[in-house]
Amino acid sequence: MVHSDEQAQAGGAHMAAREDDIAFRIIDLLLAHGLSTAPLHYAVAHAHLDGSHPAISAAIDAQRTQGKPFDACFMAELYEEHLAAEAIRHACGVGSDVARLLDGLLDQLQQADAGSSNFKASLDENIGRLDPAGSSQHLKTVAQRLLEAALKASESNDVLKQNLEVADQEARQLRSELARHRRETLTDPLTGLLNRRGMELEMARVFADEADGQSAMLVLDIDHFKHVNDTYGHAVGDVVIRKVAQAVRQLIPEGAVPVRYGGEEFAVLLPPCSPEQACGVAEKIRRSIEKLRLVRRHDKLAIAQFTLSVGVAMRALGDDLEGLFQRADQALYRAKSGGRNQVMLAA
C-alpha cells in the first residue's frame, strides 16, 4: 500500500514532469513561428497547450486553418482579450490589499508616536509642579524614575520615527511600482495610447461620470493599411500607426480618451459636445493624416499617401458605452463603403 506522503511526492513529480513537457512544447511552438520567448508569448502559448483556456486554443486553431500569420500581433491580441483582465485583477487586488495594510500600519505607528510624545509632555508638566520643599524624598525618587522612563520612551520613539520614515518610503515605492505595472498593462507599447483593456476600463469610468452629458465616439481606421505593410514592411507600418496616434493625441480636446484598440484601428471618447464639434475634430484628424508625407530613412524612399476613415456617433438617451461604440463603428463602415478618406456621422 502506498502511503499518502509517497502519493503526494509521486503526484508532485508527475506535475513537474508535465510542466517540463509543456515548457518544451511551448518553446517549440514559438520557435516554429518565429516568435520570441517573451513573457506575453509564453503566457499565451502556455494557456493554449495546458488546455486551461479553450477560447485561446480555438482562436489558434482557427488561425492555422485559415492560413493566417501566427505573429506577435496575433499573440498580443489573444493576451489582451483573454489573459490581460486576469492579470489586471490580480495586480489591482494585490495593490489594494497591500495599500490597506500599509495605511493601517502607518496609522498605528503615527498614533503610537503621538501617544508617546504626549506621555512625556504630561510627565514633564506634572513633575515641574512638584514642590521640592514639601515633597518627600521617596516621592522625588519615584518622580525621577518616571522621568527617566519617559526619556527612554522618547529615545525608543526616535527609532520608531526612523522606522516609520523607512516604511513610508517603501510604501510609496511599492505603490509607484503597482501604478507603473497597471499603466503597462493598460497601455499600447507602440503608441502610448490606451489598449483595448484600457479602453474598457477608462472609457467606462468617464462614460459613467458623464451620465447627463452628450459625449461622442470617434472610431478611426487607416485605409488600406495591409497594402502599406505589404509594400514597405512592418517597420514603416509601425511608423504610420505612431503618426496617426500622434495626430489623434494632438488634435483631440482636453478630457478626451484616445485608444488604439486594434492593429490599425483607433477610438476616441470625446467629452460632451455638439455633432458639429465632434465631426470637426474628426475632420481635423483626417486632414492632418491626408497631408502627411513620410520618407523611409535608410533609402530615402517616399511613402505613398495614406488616409483615414472615421465614424462618429453622438451619445443618445439610454446609450451604454458598447451601444455608442457600435453605432460609431457602423458609421465607419459606411465611410469605408462610400469611398474611404471621409468622416461619416451616425444617424
User: Residue 275: phi, psi to the nearest 5?
Assistant: -60, -35
Please give the tally of structural domains in the chain.
3
pTM, whole model, 2 decimals? 0.55
Quick: pLDDT tens for 36-84. 767 777 788 888 888 888 888 888 888 888 887 778 778 888 887 887 7
Residue 240, pLDDT above cutoff 60: yes
Q: Residues 211, 300: one domain? A: yes
Per-residue pLDDT, 161: 67
Q: Residues 172, 266: one domain? A: no
Containing structural domain, residue 131: 86-186
Q: Look at residue 11 and tell me if it is in a domain.
A: yes
Per-residue pLDDT, 2: 44
Q: Residues 182, 262: one domain? A: no
Q: Residues 25, 51: one domain? A: yes
Residue 168, pLDDT above cutoff 50: yes
Domain end position, chosen among 42, 70, 98? 70
Distance (Å, whole) CA 244 – CA 249: 9
Q: Look at residue 78 and tell me if it is in a domain.
A: no
Helix (H) / strand (E) element for 144: namely: helix 137-186
Cβ(185)–Cβ(91) under 8 Å? yes
Which of 95-109, 143-157, 325-339 is most confident?
A: 325-339
Cβ(325)–Cβ(200) under 8 Å? no
Q: Look at residue 75 and tell me if it is in a domain.
A: no
Distance (Å, whole) CA 199 – CA 321: 10
In this structure, are strands 343-345 and 257-260 parallel, antiparallel, or unpaired? unpaired
